[in-house]
Chain A
Amino acid sequence: MSAAIGASLTLDAIRACLEGAVPATIATCALDGTPNVSLLSQVHYVDPDHVALSYQFFNKTRANILANPIAVLQLIDPPTAAQYRMELSYLRTETSGPLFESMKAKLAGIASHVGMQDVFRLLGADLYRVTAIEAVPGGAPLPAPVAQRSLLSATRRACEALRGCADLTELLDHSLCALRGLFGVEHALILMPDEATGRLFTVAALGYDSSGVGSEVAPGEGVIGVAARERVPIRITHMTSDVAYSLTARDGAEDAGLTGGPAREIPFPGLERPHSQLAVPILAGRRLAGVLFVESRQEMRFTYDDEDALATLAAQLGALMQSLPPAEEVAPVPAACLEAGGAPVVVRHYAADDSVFVDHDYLIKGVAGAILWKLVRDHTTLGRTDFTNRELRLAPDIPLPDFAENLEARLILLQRRLEERCGVLRIEKTGRGRFRLVVTKPLLLQETA
């Protein structure tokens, strides 16, 4: 080993070798010097000085590194077949937490990819310090393929595009626009947390037949829920058959009956058979502000570099979310003049979970449901059509902890659900911190305890 870390060859420069596309080789030796060599399904990049190896069975390699902490890897660059050797020093094993969870998710994809889903099980993430890297001399590597895009450039342009956004709606829309236009992402979601329940709800979507706005993910559920719980990017590079990471095709049946009445679940819009998935937490300071999720039908679509790029975009998004001023009203607007006519539409509210149905069709629940119920009540009893964010923030009949923090997200959710699912009601912004409830038919309100 000649090239030390920080000299000519860095771990970052050979990260493509750590994507799990081609197995690596690991050599260790026992205290008596007896060597051991085997193939390795996963070498995980931790930071520029550390990697983690999957501990799946107590085998000879493991016995050796516990006794003699030096290991040597031989790695293969997938596109070129160039080979590298890396000398490692074992530090410790982690059996829970962000590193463990990100390796576990990735291993689930690798396991399914190689038909070992019943065999590969992560018992621990063995953390190693990288002490030396060298290119294997000789050989005849293939030319490196030309990259489709510059992720660094895309990240810069995306961050610049977010900078001028005036409110949360613009931030979400510009983020999805940047993902599609600059990163070539075809399927994406942005979810935000409900501080009361910890569940994440979809507020923006790109590239799905049904937007899924309002669909929910529990903490720890699938790649999105694990990314939110552990606050670490979770990336799967191959289609996994591990149900722990599957979020699609929930039809709401599980939800029916819990609170009485018809199902209240909005189906998750994800791809039925995603081959690549990446969920990146959006942090605003120390607070989880959301999750940025992208997926693809293509294997290995998202690499370590994509993960870094989207983590940077998410960091910018989180900082900008945090710095948005509360959207309070700035100017009065003329009153609405639209007259509702025709047969009445039944709007039913279930107080148990604030779910709202319009003519028997489920629309929304939770905080957004409580907001809608207040709006339609004020509309029918007081004739109001124009509202302010501020009054909702102060409304005693929308009683939720930390509600104020996420008011805008709830309004976006409500606005988009109404657009998609309800031809009778809609919300239009009329100014900063102001909006109008547009009602095109008479409403008949029914309250159910």
Chain B
Amino acid sequence: MCVFAAATRLLVVWNRTTGEAFVANDGQRGGWPDRTGPDGGRPARAGLSEAILHFLERGVSLVVSSSDRANRPRVGRALAVQVPADGAWIGVCLDRTANAALLAAVAETGRFALAATEPSTHLSIQLTGEDATVTAADAEATILAARHVDAFAAELALIGYGDAFTRALMAHDPATLAMVRFRPSRLYDQTPGPKAGTAVPP
């Protein structure tokens, strides 16, 4: 499936399997990138449209979860999203020290969820996958994390949070970064409202 924004700012969800498209968000609060992929919104990388990929790379809040074998949920905060050019998977960069239990659960079950929310607009999506793996972060991830902290600080400044607060919140040791790689299998519209949490049909 993929998601892209039409010129009317309606969020349209496209099911890659069936070819059906439908409106998943009324877009009243606007803000979805008014941009489609080079092929008009068809899947770009990791099964996601350029619009969604662009959204993930903006100064959005990135929170993640997993669950262990005993079905206990784990929660954490991510630092950046990395999508390689070959488009096989999404990488999510996390501080290993702060997220030890979550990374252990990912390694154990492969289950992973990523929610990206833009604080100034409340636009939010969630991606989940069942095949997540934990790897060491590469040099590019370190650069992406630093860049994302800058973008997130600029975004939070729009709603009144000071730069020092955001940088303290996102503080991490570049030497201890981990990367969770997964292929998104489901995508939810999570913008607050009655449709929050509504699963898009597979």
List the interface of chain A (C-beta within 8 A of B). 1, 25-29, 31, 33-39, 41, 56-57, 59-63, 68, 70-74, 76, 80-81, 83, 85, 114-116, 119-120, 136-142
Kindly report which residue of chain A lies nearest to residue B119, judged by CB atoms: A23
B199 within 8 A of A: yes
B76/A57 in contact, CB under 8 A: no
Counting chain B CB atoms within 10 Å of each CB, the highest count among A33, A56, A70, A74 belongs to: A33
Q: Could you show 26 A-B contacts with beta carbons less than 8 Å apart? A: A27-B65, A27-B75, A34-B113, A34-B130, A35-B66, A36-B65, A36-B197, A38-B63, A38-B115, A38-B196, A41-B192, A57-B193, A60-B196, A60-B197, A68-B71, A70-B73, A72-B65, A72-B75, A83-B169, A116-B122, A119-B193, A138-B97, A138-B173, A138-B176, A141-B168, A142-B168
Are B114 and A37 within 8 A (Cβ)? yes
Instruction: Find out whether the CB atom of A70 lies under 8 angstroms from the CB atom of B72.
Output: yes
User: B58: shortest Cβ distance to chain A, in Å?
Assistant: 16
Cβ contact within 8 Å between A33 and B67: yes
A139 contact from B71, B101, B124, B168, Cβ within 8 A: B168
Interface residues of B (CB under 8 A from A): 61, 63-67, 71-77, 95, 97-98, 100-101, 109, 111-115, 117, 122, 124, 126, 128, 130, 164-166, 168-169, 171-173, 176, 188, 190, 192-194, 196-199
**Contact between A139 and B171 (Cβ–Cβ < 8 Å)?**
yes
Known A-B contacts: A39-B61, A71-B73. Give 20 more (CB < 8 A): A25-B63, A25-B75, A25-B115, A27-B74, A33-B109, A34-B67, A34-B130, A35-B112, A37-B126, A38-B115, A39-B63, A70-B72, A72-B65, A74-B76, A74-B77, A81-B166, A116-B122, A116-B192, A136-B98, A141-B168
Which residues of chain A have C-beta atoms less than 8 A from B66's C-beta? 35
Indicate if the CB atoms of A31 and B97 lie closer than 8 Å. Answer: no
CA distance A35 to B109 in the complex (A): 11
Partner of A37, one of B65, B72, B109, B194: B65
CB neighbours (8 Å) of A25 from chain B are: 63, 75, 77, 115
Measured CB to CB, the nearest residue on chain B to A82 is B168
Residues of B within 8 A of A27 (CB): 65, 73-75, 113
- A330 vs chain B, min Cβ distance (A): 59
CB contact between A74 and one of B63, B67, B109 (< 8 Å): that residue: B63
Whether A57 pairs with B197 at a CB distance below 8 angstroms is yes
Question: Which residues on B sit within 8 Å (CB–CB) of A138?
Answer: 95, 97-98, 171-173, 176
- A269–chain B nearest beta-carbon distance, Å: 30
Are B100 and A31 neighbours in the complex by a CB distance under 8 Å?
no
B91 to chain A, nearest CB (A): 17
Chain B residues with CB under 8 A of A36: 65, 73, 113, 126, 128, 197
- Is the beta-carbon distance between B77 and A83 smaller than 8 angstroms? yes
